[in-house]
Structure 1
Amino acid sequence: MDQGAERRVAARDIAGGQFRYYDFVMAAFVAILLLSNVIGAGKVAVVHLPVIGGWPFGAGILFFPVSYVIGDVLTEVYGYARARRVIWAGFGATVFMAFMAWVVVALPPAPSWTNQAAYATVFGQVPRIVFASVCAFWAGEFVNSYVMARMKLWTAGRHLWTRTIGSTVLGEGVDSMIFYPLAFWGAAGWTTHLVVVVLFTQWALKVGWEVVLTPVTYAVVGWLKRAEGVDVFDEGTDFSPFRARV
């Protein structure tokens, strides 16, 4: 697309079109998704709050919400169909990562290699949690992208912050409502009360991150629209998640 002032176009009118930075945004989305699951998910950190004291949290929450910010950028700049392709790419990468981790951890270690226990602690994954994570990611990201695209039509492209925050409230809500019950309901050490408390705490923190990062989202969206020269609206888009075509 020619660089310059962006022009409003319907998503169906640019099917098959080429963009300068779409593949880079896709790569960033998949990379952050995988790294937040591998590096962040395995560590429980603690922050010391006034009055409350130490408050534990999963370290992955610092970076996983960035994938939702990038999802917002993808839908806002390139439209739902191209965001859908990226979500499927992330889904496939996550499934392969889980499969690879299972295979590598299960391989018998060489007698001279004494790090198997530590390796399994870091990269070993509980099948129930992996299943919950993949299901929650898939559903939450598609809800986020769908709401983002629909709200853009309703608002005629105005008030970007309402779309980024509104879509995250619903998308992260679906993500949390699926992940925590599937992963921890009835698990040892997890009472129903604890599942509910952690669910809503994590949901609120993720939405809070979206609010904090709103100025960054505005800057990235504005720059990409100017660079690509278009402002895509999902008029006539097939919103089925079970398609790969743009």
Structure 2
Amino acid sequence: MRAFKHLDTITALFVAVLLISNIASTKILTLGPLTFDGGTILFPLSYIFGDILTEVYGYGRSRRVIWLGFVSALVMAITLAIVGALPPAADWGNQSAYETILGQTPRIVAASLIAYIAGEFSNSFTLAKLKIRTAGRWLWLRTIGSTLIGQLLDTGLFVLIAFTGVVPNSLLWPLIVSNYLFKCGVEILFTPATYAITGWLKQEEQEDYYDRNTNFNPFHLSQTHQ
């Protein structure tokens, strides 16, 4: 495989955004008419990084990064659960605070992981296919179009799996709509930055991958794109 100068940096930032967002999502925020979890503030950046990965390096390399993020989030969830279950020291009085912030239920963890996989892979797949259909033109159409699809699956699945029967419908649907609009709005707002970063990376890496012969099976983890 080719060695790239910046792929490792983008991968690290992608995973960091994912893990931080999962922890921040334990708080529900209300800003004006919008109601969303705290992770929504940062999580849209993972889709921007995902767009950049697929646009520059191709679906095959993006697929490996998506699975790396999945495994990292799973390890974090398991570690936090084990630490929370272990008996605290006698003079440590913060167990309830730990459980409130970091003691995510299995349902929340499952919702997060399922939504993440569905959203990220649909986002990467859509962008890769649109790149071929548009012959590499109209980057804005690919990034925004793929995010509209990916975030719809991600947001809808997470909220429905995590909160159906837990919160009233009067809060459930506003939560989905608010999260979706905010995340897509961030993608649109960051479009000029996405243009600048992808253009710079293509020049730096001498790479502008087209997934014409790519195996799009999410579970195909070969070192190549085929």
Q: Tell me the TM-score range normalised by the shorter chain.
A: over 0.9
Matched, 1:170 2:154: no
Q: How does 1:118-157 map to 2 (within 5 A)?
A: 118-157=97-136
Specify the code of the residue in structure 2 equivalent to 1:226.
Answer: Q
Instruction: Name stretches of at least 5 consecutive residues in structure 1 with no aligned partner.
Output: 1-15
Are 1:86 and 2:70 counterparts? no
Residue 18 of structure 1 aligns with which residue?
A: 3
Encode CA deviations 1:76-108: one digit per residue, 9 max, x unaligned. 000000000000000000111100010001110
Match of 1:65 in 2: 44
Give the Cα–Cα distance (whole angstroms) in 1 for the partners of residues 25 and 169 of structure 2: 22
Alignment gaps of 5+ in structure 2:
none
Q: Does the 8 Å CA contact 2:36/2:175 hold for their aligned counterparts?
A: no
State TM-score, norm by structure 1. Answer: 0.87
Amino acid in the other structure paired with 2:185: G
Determine the C-alpha separation between the residues in 2 that align with 1:182 and 1:121.
20
Q: What is residue 190 of structure 2 aligned with on the other side? A: 213
Residue 17 of structure 2: aligned partner? 32
Q: Is residue 36–residue 178 contact of structure 2 (8 Å, CA) maintained in 1?
A: no
Q: What displacement does 1:119 show? A: 1.4
| CA distance in 2 between partners of 1:226 and 1:102 (Å) | 44
Among 199, 217, 223, the residue aligned to 1:240: 217
Count of residues in Structure 1 that have an aligned counterpart in Structure 2: 223
Task: Tell me how far 1:60 sits from its aligned partner.
Answer: 1.2
Offset at residue 43 of structure 1 (A): 2.0
The structure with more strand, counted as a fraction of residues: 1
SS at the partner of 1:233? coil
Identity %: 46
Q: TM-score if structure 2 supplies the norm length?
A: 0.95
1:42 equivalenced with 2:19 (yes/no):
no
Over the aligned positions, Cα root-mean-square deviation in angstroms equals 1.2
Q: Distance in 2 between matches of 1:98 and 1:82?
A: 25
